[in-house]
A and B are shown apart, each in its own frame.
Chain A
Amino acid sequence: MGLGKFLERVLQLVPVLLGVSVIVFIMIALTPGDPVQIMIGDQAITPEQEAALRRDLGLDRPMYERFFLFVGNAVQGDFGQSFYHRRPVSEVIAERLPATIELSLVALLIALFTSIPLGVLAAIRKNSIFDRIATVISLLGVSLPGFWFGILLLMLFAVHLNILPVAGRIGYSSEIEPITHFLLIDTLLRGRPDAFLDALSHIILPAVTLGLPMTAILMRVTRSSMLEVLQQDYVTFAEAKGLSRRRVLFRHALKNALIPTVSVAAIETGSLLGGNMIVETVFGWPGLGRLVVESIFLRNYPLVQAAVLLYAVTYVLLNFFADILYTVLNPKVKL
């Protein structure tokens, strides 16, 4: 697409990002409870120290000034100190981020590799037993509460069958020195296939739970998109040319059919971010999602604020990416 149009789209992002930060800021600013009090906790300090603390945190300034301070710092990656950890928020978040990203990526891969073949098959064999199974999976995928499904999986595989672990990211015996902080990669890089399997066995249940709704949605999109494509004239013409079924399918049909799938996948990846909190809590996964939930209960607001902002910005960028992707892939818009 032309550079001009691209920049235009980028510019449209700005008010959205701004609005998002405003909302995040207001949400936290309006939360009941004095942040200074929370920080102090049970410690005894003098009123002067308290006032100094307040000044340090900028709490004595008017709202709009605080907002600009907030945004200014945020852009530099400074989100203040975590009340609970007594360390910079950005540090704490950075520690837990890889776990969440790894989980989300694996969930995404599972979703893609399951939904696309199933969706295509369901479309080709419309109304067959295949199709019905696919429909059932789709319905279940959006109707199953994630937290319950996760618990069910745990009960089945971890408790009853005892073949998969109950919680955590990896067993003690498989701990290794991290390189990328993605365990699945690091264990291989360190030449520890046993640790890799261990990490795999830990990630599989949460990833399946996280990826199920997305699988359901993508399968439906792929199926209906494929059905539509198969009705197109160019598919009939390709058949009239006497091309093999495989050729017609892969070369002509699939390419066009997958366009909606890919853009929906990009958008839905954002919702994986929300589902993270639930899945990480259920499976005791040491990621950002669980950190956020804990922080809310601990009233650790700087961290909550930073995390919510991070999530929101990622989500907006993902949607933007999906938009661009759709435009790029769509041949009719390739003018």
Chain B
Amino acid sequence: MSALLEVKGLRTAFETRAGSVCAVDGVDVEVHQGECLGIVGESGSGKSVTFASVMGLVRAPGRITAGEIHFDGRDLRKLSRKELRAVRGRDIAMTMQDALTALNPALTIGVQLAEVLEAHDETLPKGRKARARAIRERSVEMLGLVGIPSAGSRLSQYPHEFSGGMRQRIMIAIALACRPKLLIADEPTTALDVTIQAQVLELISDIRAKLGMSVVLITHDLGVVAEHCDRVMVMYAGQVVEEGPTAEVIGSPSHPYTRGLLGSIPRLSLRGQPIHPIEGQVPDLIDLPPQCRFYSRCAERTDACLTPIPVRQVGPHRKARCIIAGEDTE
């Protein structure tokens, strides 16, 4: 069965004063029907830009310079702007990290919900009154779905009148209003308290089960991925460095970076023992040398790593961009 979303060789670059920065450098992604894919990486790894590119939201000075993006059988890069707008919000939806800035402070949430319905929903009646009523009904329904009580009276309120957790739910409600096939959740929990985080993630899982939706969870938090994602993809410096079923990748990571990430998580079971952060820093993305990008921070590097490293199959469903992966025994 072909994947719902297939990205091949995506390259997105930004022109800056200092030169061209390739934020996404040759990335392949596959998202299958009904699955939850986790994307893990630190800031600057290219994880957000990858999916902004998929949705066509990359603006100057950035642009997609290479690659294919196939969604539901269609090549998104070949679509006109109008056609792409029809896909956005209806078939693919996105939520952003901070709901406070993502929601327009000057518009009521009712208006912001209604907008997406007006833009995409063909099933709405044509007459003004009937249409307005239908939109209101659907809005209340969506807010109920995300767990906001007495939604009817709250449609006329402004974003700043809600708590952080509720705003996130509202954002999710807006994203899901047209029952998209794919939800891209960009750092859905980063701006929230720990307790709310769990609620929001539960919510996403529930809805995913109900609607049969595919989800891409972009995060830097491995714990989130471990709990909610079927597969995980690790990104570093604009490239995919590891990919596979969550349990396997977390259980026995292949790439030294992944291992470093897992090793640096403080754990109660290891209380009293030193934490091992990954030494060094992410390389400057301008003028990268043609070699493994993790080289300068890798404890297991060899001279053979000074050439461009391709992605290799290291297991039945697992890939890693490392020469020595799969050869080590833990």
Q: Is there any pair of Cβ atoms, one from A and one from B, under 8 angstroms apart in the complex? A: yes
* Chain A nearest Cβ from B181, distance in angstroms: 14
Q: CB within 8 Å of A: which of B141-157?
A: none
Residue on A with the closest CB to B60?
A126
Q: How far is the CA of A243 from the CA of B115 in the complex (A)?
A: 7
- Within 8 Å by CB of B88, from A234, A242, A252, A255, lies A242
Count A interface residues, CB 8 Å: 23
Find chain A residues with CB under 8 A from B101 CB: 232-234
B positions within 8 Å CB-CB of A: 55, 57, 60, 81, 85-90, 93-94, 96, 98, 101-107, 115-116, 119-120, 158, 160, 171, 174-175
Asked if B115 and A241 sit within 8 Å, CB to CB, the answer is yes
* CB of A173 closer than 8 Å to a CB of B: no
* Chain A nearest Cβ from B91, distance in angstroms: 9
Find chain A residues with CB under 8 A from B160 CB: 331-332, 335
Asked if B120 and A242 sit within 8 Å, CB to CB, the answer is yes
Find chain B residues with CB under 8 A from A241 CB: 88-89, 93, 115-116, 119, 174-175
Residue on B with the closest CB to A243?
B119
Q: Which 5 A-B pairs have the closest CB atoms?
A: A242-B89, A242-B88, A233-B101, A241-B89, A331-B106
Asked if A256 and B106 sit within 8 Å, CB to CB, the answer is yes
Q: CB within 8 Å of B: which of A296-335?
A: 331-332, 334-335
Find chain B residues with CB under 8 A from A233 CB: 96, 98, 101-102
* Chain A nearest Cβ from B85, distance in angstroms: 5
Find chain A residues with CB under 8 A from B115 CB: 238, 241, 243, 247, 251
Find chain B residues with CB under 8 A from A242 CB: 85-90, 116, 119-120
Take A240-B57, A242-B86 as given contacts and tell me if A234 and B119 are in contact as well, using a CB distance cutoff of 8 Å. no
Residue on B with the closest CB to A235?
B104
* Chain B nearest Cβ from A325, distance in angstroms: 15
Q: How far is the CA of A239 from the CA of B175 in the complex (A)?
A: 12
Find chain B residues with CB under 8 A from A334 CB: 158
A sample of 27 inter-chain contacts (CB < 8 A) reads: A233-B102, A234-B102, A237-B94, A237-B102, A237-B171, A238-B115, A239-B57, A240-B89, A241-B88, A241-B89, A241-B115, A241-B116, A241-B175, A242-B87, A242-B89, A242-B90, A242-B116, A242-B119, A243-B89, A243-B116, A243-B119, A245-B81, A247-B119, A252-B104, A252-B107, A256-B104, A331-B160
Residue on B with the closest CB to A234?
B104
- Further contacts, 5 of them, CB under 8 A, given A241-B116, A332-B160: A241-B115, A242-B90, A243-B89, A252-B104, A255-B106
A positions within 8 Å CB-CB of B: 126, 232-234, 236-245, 247, 251-252, 255-256, 331-332, 334-335
* Chain B nearest Cβ from A226, distance in angstroms: 14
Find chain A residues with CB under 8 A from B57 CB: 236, 239-240
Find chain A residues with CB under 8 A from B96 CB: 233, 236-237, 240
Find chain B residues with CB under 8 A from A331 CB: 105-106, 158, 160
Find chain A residues with CB under 8 A from B119 CB: 241-244, 247
* Chain B nearest Cβ from A235, distance in angstroms: 8
Q: How far is the CA of A234 from the CA of B81 in the complex (A)?
A: 20
Counting chain B CB atoms within 10 Å of each CB, which of A234, A239, A247, A255 scores highest? A234
Asked if A240 and B105 sit within 8 Å, CB to CB, the answer is no
Q: How far is the CA of A239 from the CA of B85 in the complex (A)?
A: 8
Asked if A240 and B93 sit within 8 Å, CB to CB, the answer is yes
Asked if B103 and A239 sit within 8 Å, CB to CB, the answer is no
Q: How far is the CA of A237 from the CA of B171 in the complex (A)?
A: 9
